Amino acid sequence: MRDEGLGQDEDVELAEEDLISATYEGDEIDFTREITEQVILAIPFKPLCSEDCKGLCSNCGAELNISNCACSQDNMNLQFNALKNLKVKR
């Protein structure tokens, strides 16, 4: 890709997405894989009804906006449990 502001002799560094190419055969191009990937990437990791929604308990399914669940937080097997006391300065 060339930028109109660049002269003929200037080098342009291509981004990784500029280098991606695909091959095809026949009269049709199947974009199923690419469309599926984009749809999956557009789905939120943790879908919530609003920004301030507390979601559902991952153990019992209780709606945390209405009440707290009765699950013991100590017994939950969370992969990132070691980070629960991490403090981030902003």
**Residues 53/65, Cβ–Cβ less than 8 Å:** yes
pLDDT in tens, 69-84: 887 666 555 667 677 7
Q: What is the largest CA-CA distance in the chain?
A: 69
To the nearest whole percent, how much of the chain has pLDDT over 70? 77
Cα separation, 35 vs 41, whole angstroms: 10
pLDDT in tens, 33-42: 889 999 998 8
> What are the boundaries of each domain within the chain?
32-70
DSSP 2-59: --TTS-TT---PPPHHHH------SS----HHHHHHHHHHHS-SS--SSTT---B-TT
Amino acid 39: pLDDT? 92
Question: Structure pTM?
Answer: 0.34
